[in-house]
Structure 1
């Protein structure tokens, strides 16, 4: 079993008088992660799943006297799929405030649902972390550097969801099932997604243009929908951890693009499942875009796993000079161009280096991914 990089971070924050909340897409191993935590702490645990109707009914209107009976002498309350429980934030608040000996651990696959229900009630009462598909660093730790370097094609095609890594022979089947049945489960349960067919068209359109700037007006025309609906559905995809957005970076250069966005998926296997393209890299023309998506998604995992805060962008001018990824934080200013072809002679645009001489500018091929993900 692969040990996740955030394990020690989580262990160190248990039994500190706060709830511990784990967000992330479905099927990324949140339940398994909590089971590993519980095995380490070895405390008497009550497990409740928000997908169970009787659990939702019992916890719908929480009060302290009722919780005395429910919690008994348990030392840990594990709320799986907590976003399904009505007033879950109030429930956790009561336990944190009145049951000092009980550690609450809650998982949720839907940020817009869970965050909205817990942020206000749990101000100052919670720790949070996001659990994404397995990262490059985690996979290297589970095997070795050389083995993982040899697996780059596998990662671009099938991604790194735990089930895919653990059962690579059936990776395509797992990904299709995930994309068709689980990925949007929370979204389709909401009244906000009134047009699932349109929603899936938008997802596929995004998957077919990774690495390209997304014009929401053009996307709306392509899927024959109004732009407000497209905006809303893309926002829901972000909030359910399917995609993430990079805005344009602008500062000192007059002709920099300022308003456009690029949209990437957290896992390239999901991209291929949506487009139904699992062809080998030798037989497809989107390898560069897949590699770009893979590297930037891995960087997102790196930032989350190491609790690093950074603002992430892409950069382009009206003269079509561009850089795939720009990252700014208190300690770093990075500009990175990704090239699948190791023999590529591309250079970081002089316009950028002159305007931002303090930035560390890199051109990285597949052979350099370990360097980038350990910066």
Structure 2
């Protein structure tokens, strides 16, 4: 099954001379495959370069307009895959944009940290940024009917939604693949950063976050458990977010007395990665963490929808010191929407403190009965 990725049309519509389209996302989310699909659909003269190839690095190292004109002669579109590997790629792309104004450019990479640092400033106002995630439910709705979606939900909560999983038939193959993701791909980028030499510590940190899924974490406590400083914990978590493994969600507050706003919760961009870290692929009927898996799934699927649909909303969790809480808050143009996630539908009511503090806010419980409206 070839799944039509949402960004295919978005990037196609964004290709313009004098602009760089930057495609970022975790390894194995299908960036290269998406770009090859795009090349087939466009059917225009193009040049494909791989930043990890030594010959590409040598050719681009001669930073002159004449060199780049020769390189792209007869080419309408230039694609540079794994662009984060190339030294000063932002300055290279700026020179190309300045000196070859008819050229369309796509650069892709698996590290937002590297690409933001290198491309952000040189290409201010000249770059469109696109983030590719594991397969989103909003992309699957054209490939499966409602009965199939319901039937496949449990596997997605357990094994996640990385593209290659959809080609595997057995749970043994899926478990093996998700385990290989962590060991062979996802930690590759963060371990390449200067000062990040201990793969064991990074994995231990991820395991601790996995066991605290959907709960506020204390950097001091994590540091004590890992025998590292609070600052090092924060540094590692920041890099894990910039390499698309984790997502940080802050606490919501408009300065009500009992609100918690300084703490954060961390979620995994993919349920399968989380379960692999704690070596637990048991079926839902045998698990004690179904609520946490459901919350993680809904939040990341919602974030995919918001990103692909370019819906600019702020998002938070909400909790008070006396344990009143709401799983998910969205704010746009001053309007507040609050959501509580329940695996089994019940009669949850809006917390009293929130209702009094934000009387105009909308409130809704998201369960298996209505979750597709929330994430598609």
Paired position in structure 1 for 2:245: 242
2:17 and 2:102 in contact (8 A); partners too: no
Paired position in structure 2 for 1:291: 294
CA displacement at 1:72 relative to structure 2: 2.2
* CA distance in structure 2 between the aligned counterparts of 1:145 and 1:102, rounded to whole angstroms: 43
Give the alignment of 1:126-137 within 5 angstroms: 126-137=127-138
Paired position in structure 2 for 1:123: 124
1:61 and 1:87 in contact (8 A); partners too: no
Paired position in structure 2 for 1:275: 278
Determine helix, strand or coil for the equivalent of 2:128.
strand
CA displacement at 1:15 relative to structure 2: 2.6
Paired position in structure 1 for 2:372: 370
Is 1:357 aligned with 2:359? yes
Give the alignment of 1:132-211 within 5 angstroms: 132-169=133-170, 170-211=173-214
Post-superposition Cα deviations, 1:255-278, rounded to whole Å, max 9, x if no partner, equal 111211100011101101111111
Is 1:306 aligned with 2:315? no
* CA distance in structure 1 between the aligned counterparts of 2:136 and 2:169, rounded to whole angstroms: 16
1:164 and 1:174 in contact (8 A); partners too: yes
Paired position in structure 1 for 2:42: 41
Determine helix, strand or coil for the equivalent of 1:336.
strand
Post-superposition Cα deviations, 1:37-88, rounded to whole Å, max 9, x if no partner, equal 1112111121111111222232234211111222221221110010001111
* CA distance in structure 1 between the aligned counterparts of 2:61 and 2:191, rounded to whole angstroms: 22
CA displacement at 1:103 relative to structure 2: 1.2
Is 1:216 aligned with 2:219? yes
2:329 pairs, out of 308, 326, 330, with 326
2:328 and 2:338 in contact (8 A); partners too: yes
Structure 2, unpaired ranges of 5+: none
Structure 1, unpaired ranges of 5+: none
1:45 and 1:78 in contact (8 A); partners too: yes
* CA distance in structure 1 between the aligned counterparts of 2:169 and 2:320, rounded to whole angstroms: 41
* CA distance in structure 1 between the aligned counterparts of 2:373 and 2:247, rounded to whole angstroms: 23
Determine helix, strand or coil for the equivalent of 1:326.
strand
Determine helix, strand or coil for the equivalent of 1:367.
coil
Post-superposition Cα deviations, 1:277-332, rounded to whole Å, max 9, x if no partner, equal 11111111111001000000011101111011111110000110000111111274
CA displacement at 1:149 relative to structure 2: 2.1
Paired position in structure 1 for 2:52: 51
Determine helix, strand or coil for the equivalent of 1:231.
helix
TM-score where L is the length of structure 1: 0.96
- Which region of structure 1 is more displaced relative to structure 2, 297-306 or 250-259? 250-259
Following superposition, which runs of at least 4 residues in structure 1 exceed 6 angstroms of deviation?
none
Is 1:92 aligned with 2:72? no
1:345 pairs, out of 344, 347, 357, with 347
Determine helix, strand or coil for the equivalent of 1:320.
coil
CA displacement at 1:168 relative to structure 2: 4.1
* CA distance in structure 1 between the aligned counterparts of 2:66 and 2:113, rounded to whole angstroms: 30
Post-superposition Cα deviations, 1:163-208, rounded to whole Å, max 9, x if no partner, equal 1122242211111111111001111111131322111110111111
Post-superposition Cα deviations, 1:89-144, rounded to whole Å, max 9, x if no partner, equal 11111111221232111111100001100011111111111011111111111212
Is 1:254 aligned with 2:265? no
RMSD: 1.4
CA displacement at 1:16 relative to structure 2: 4.2
2:17 and 2:101 in contact (8 A); partners too: no
CA displacement at 1:161 relative to structure 2: 0.6
